[in-house]
Amino acid sequence: MTRLYTLVMYLLTPVILYRLVIRGLRARAYFWRWRERFGFFPAPPFESSIWVHAVSVGEFNAALPLIRQLMTRFPDQALVVTTVTPTGSEQVLRNLGDDVFHVYLPYDLPAAIHRFLKRTNPLFAVVMETEIWPNLFFVSKERGIPLVIANARLSERSLQGYRPVRPLVAKALNCAAAVAAQTETDRQRLAKLGGRPELLHVVGSLKFDLQLPPDLEQFGREIRSDWGPERLVVVAASTHEDDEEALLPAFMELLRRYPDALLIIAPRHPERFSRVITRCRSLGLATASRSEDLAASTSTEVFVLDTMGELLNYFAAADLAFVGGSIAKVGGHNVLEPAALGVPVLVGPHTFNFAEITEMLLSRNGAMRVEDQATLARRLLELAEKPELRQEMGRCGFELVQENRGALTRTLELVEAAVQDLRPLRSTNAAVEPPASARS
């Protein structure tokens, strides 16, 4: 099966390149740095490294506290960070710059992987969430590279999707030195996938350990002052087309009752930025964008956040948040960022990617679920009319985040255990700094 998988990967390479071209027509960054995707890049200026892989923006944001702790604990080692998407790459460069060596993860072709590992020579690796690439895992084990899967999650849909290749995926999964599952449900699904019980550990979600800039709330207050501090501000995060088809009419209903309301909308994919701006203007909404107008004005009704890496700033200025990918049948996105800032959350019916975390937030009354445009419009009006309800929901969500911190410490313990026999590696065993609180 391994040989058949590798043959299929080589045969699919032209299709993968064609897909890159298609995506490049929408986001030109996909045209760049193709050689890295085959393991070709200039030799880095170090003999060995620690390697962290985070496929895109969400995974990198969750990994950032872990990366910073690895840099502190292993100060003598270079750190390599790989991503798959240009937006993930942009986040690495924005947040870490020259402090790390960054390239794209090569395709799961043995020759490309050998080139990547030979050039970077990682002493150990941390792979975020459930990026199980069989050849990558097999070659890493062959080269004696301990690999820890951090923040691992597995939806029921993904578990069923692996069914035709379950023996191959199980073999790859068991190459890991440890798997840090987010929840007990994730651990059970990984066990069903074929993971050996002694490898699987429940540590919680690293997303609870997000570190917020200490001046974030002050920044939120300052940007609100430019919009008009008394306005109702709704932030719609990581939206897809089906989310927007429900959201925009619902917001227009809100405007009839609250004409000074402001919608901040952050589409999930950069290639859709211009389309969202055009769609909002076609509905007659006074629309501005971050790239063209820099800031919303008192007359702006919709502000499109068409930049990357700034969403937290706008959550800090929000009265309530809608998290996308949840009316669209995508499976939802991260609800913890607004919750950590004490912002009440609305989600649609499709949250299977973050099922347990979303249910935790719903059960603690930090979030409300909406089914469609009509229920979204009702909830927006209800929360607009009841500031005390918004405040209570925000408090509940904030407390949930505070109570569930600790995955970072537990994940680092698994990493330390996995690499304790590596002689060239020296850890300072620095204590994990407590994450910055969103509120005193």
Write out pLDDT tens, residues 298-347: 999 999 999 988 999 999 999 999 999 999 999 999 999 999 999 999 99
CA distance 302 to 287: 5
Q: Quote the radius of gyration of the chain (alpha carbons, Å).
A: 22
Amino acid (1-letter code) at residue 26: R
Under 8 Å between Cβ of 409 and 432: yes
Q: What CATH class does 33-204+407-419 carry?
A: alpha beta
Under 8 Å between Cβ of 94 and 439: no
State the catalytic residues: 59
CA distance 367 to 354: 13
Q: If DSSP codes are grouped into helix, strand and coil, which group holds residue 162? A: coil
Q: Which residues pair with 124 in a beta bridge?
A: 50
The whole-model pTM stands at 0.80
Show the CA angle centred on residue 179, arms to residues 178 and 185, nearest 5°: 150
Domains 33-204+407-419 and 216-402 share a fold: yes
Pairing label, strands 78-83, 49-53: parallel
pLDDT bin (cut points 50, 70, 90) of residue 355 is confident
Instruction: Supply 20's token pair.
Output: 């890159």
Q: What is the pLDDT of residues 364-374, one digit of tens each?
A: 999 999 999 99
At residue 228, the pLDDT reads 80
In this structure, the dihedral spanned by the alpha carbons of residues 139, 193, 176 and 144, taken in order and rounded to 10 degrees, is -30
Q: Which residue has the higher pLDDT, 19 or 181?
A: 181
Under 8 Å between Cβ of 184 and 192: no
CA distances from 319 to 45, 56, 161, 262, 387 (A): 47, 28, 38, 10, 9
Q: Which residues pair with 263 in a beta bridge?
A: 234, 302
Q: Where are the domains of the chain?
A: 33-204+407-419, 216-402
Domain 216-402, CATH number (from 3.30.2290.10, 3.30.390.30, 3.40.50.2000, 1.20.120.350)? 3.40.50.2000
Instruction: Supply 226's token pair.
Output: 């430019």
At residue 359, the pLDDT reads 94
Q: Which helix (H) or strand (E) holds 296?
A: none
Amino acid (1-letter code) at residue 55: V
Q: What is the pLDDT of residues 200-246, one digit of tens each?
A: 999 999 989 988 888 898 889 888 888 888 899 999 999 999 999 99
Q: If DSSP codes are grouped into helix, strand and coil, which group holds residue 123? A: strand
Pairing label, strands 262-267, 147-152: unpaired
At residue 436, the pLDDT reads 38
Q: If DSSP codes are grouped into helix, strand and coil, which group holds residue 323? A: strand
Q: Spell out where 153-281 has E strands.
A: 178-181, 200-202, 233-239, 262-267
Residue 433 pLDDT more than 60?
no
Q: Which residues pair with 127 in a beta bridge?
A: 53, 149
pLDDT bin (cut points 50, 70, 90) of residue 430 is very low
Q: What is the pLDDT of residues 375-404, one digit of tens each?
A: 999 999 999 999 999 999 999 999 999 999
Under 8 Å between Cβ of 91 and 60: yes
CA distance 28 to 35: 16
